[in-house]
A = this chain, B = another copy of it.
Amino acid sequence: MAKIAIMGHGIVGSGVAELLRKNSINISKRVGQSIEISKILDLREFDNLPYSDLFTKNFDDILKDDEISVVVETIGGLDPSYEFTKSLLKSGKSVVSSNKELVSQKGDELLSIARKNHVNYLFEASVGGGIPIIRPIYSCLAANKIEYICGILNGTTNFIITKMLEDGLSFEKALSLAKDKGYAEKDPTDDINGADSNRKICILASLAYGTHIYPHEVCQSGIECIELADVDFARSIGCVIKLIGKARRLESGKISIMVCPAFVSNSSKLASVGGVYNAILVKGDAVGEVLFVGQGAGKMPTASAVVADIINICGLRSMMLKEQGSLFQKTINLQFFFHARISRLMKSL
């Protein structure tokens, strides 16, 4: 049995708990052992859940529990996620994160700490919600030189723009509708101004180009200024407006990244991706263009990606321990493989 902990019982964290319970039989089969949630860290009270007894308000209860090998970080933001993650990795625990702010700001440092401590720091859920994109880029497309990555990386803004286009709503009304439907947070600043898309394209570019690119280095503009007249003009020239994050390697070898609203031709694969869906187009020199589309946010899609990372860590560990039997004897932590691969890709050059 693998014991894990979850930090942050918000939308994603509670989704992870729910998914691990709901599909536990299937997941156990895939991992080769069962996965048990030992503790959940949250400062709020959750008295009426079937697993209310697992809650703690004390981080040390997780850090100092030697039986916990993997910790899910779905707190979000930098504080206290950054310090918590560092402490966990240093204590020999792998961390799985959906926190794009932390990964985009501190990913290289955390990967380096993970590497030194022979554990994993995985973050498939940090970009594109449940859409498989991190692993496909560093694994399935590993033979390619990536020419560009270009995508609709924020579902909130895509919903707003779609409503302006399809229903003729003003920006303000579309935003209000997004809030009503739960697609926009109370404070949607980071979605609207492009900061969220910026973090995500930085994470993808860092993986694709092997150099950590920080969001503050990127030219970023949001959709605050888009008016119905712009949407109509786009239509008149056979285009739609989308908030696009794009990273590409210039002929000089430098990496160019930008986040801004763009006219996207109706003939583009990205044009028809509406509503809260995300879409990421990757061009490799061998594979050509590959498109990934799916729900880029939401409780269960994001939980799907988090739990996949947990399965991969626990599955590898389980396999290796079984195969190696007494030879292995815990002298080396074999949760190391995934992390080392990502780390090699993402280290600062």
A1-41, CB under 8 A of B: which get 1 and which 0? 00000000000000100011011001101101000000000
Binds B, one of A52-60, A65-73, A331-339: A331-339
Interface of chain A residues 304 through 344 with chain B (CB within 8 A) = 304-305, 307-308, 310-312, 315-316, 319-320, 323-324, 327-328, 331-332, 334, 336-337, 340-341, 344
Interface of chain A residues 282 through 320 with chain B (CB within 8 A) = 284-295, 298, 300-301, 303-305, 307-308, 310-312, 315-316, 319-320
The reply to whether A19 and B143 contact each other, CB–CB distance below 8 Å, is yes
User: Quick one: copies of this chain in the complex?
Assistant: 2
Chain B residues, CB < 8 A from A312: 139, 142
- Give chain B nearest CB distance to A51 CB in angstroms: 18
The reply to whether B286 and A295 contact each other, CB–CB distance below 8 Å, is no
In the complex, what distance in Å separates the CA atom of A344 from the CA atom of B139?
20
- Give chain B nearest CB distance to A234 CB in angstroms: 18
The reply to whether A294 and B304 contact each other, CB–CB distance below 8 Å, is no
Chain B residues, CB < 8 A from A327: 327-328, 331-332
The reply to whether A336 and B308 contact each other, CB–CB distance below 8 Å, is no
Known interface pairs A286-B304, A308-B140; A132-B130 also in contact (CB < 8 Å): no
The reply to whether A27 and B143 contact each other, CB–CB distance below 8 Å, is yes
Chain B residues, CB < 8 A from A301: 286-288
4 new A-B contacts, CB < 8 A, other than A15-B286, A288-B301, A327-B332, are A130-B288, A132-B136, A142-B307, A142-B312
Seen from chain A, the residues whose Cβ lies within 8 Å of a Cβ on chain B are: 15, 19-20, 22-23, 26-27, 29-30, 32, 118, 124, 129-132, 135-136, 139-145, 210, 269, 272, 284-295, 298, 300-301, 303-305, 307-308, 310-312, 315-316, 319-320, 323-324, 327-328, 331-332, 334, 336-337, 340-341, 344-345
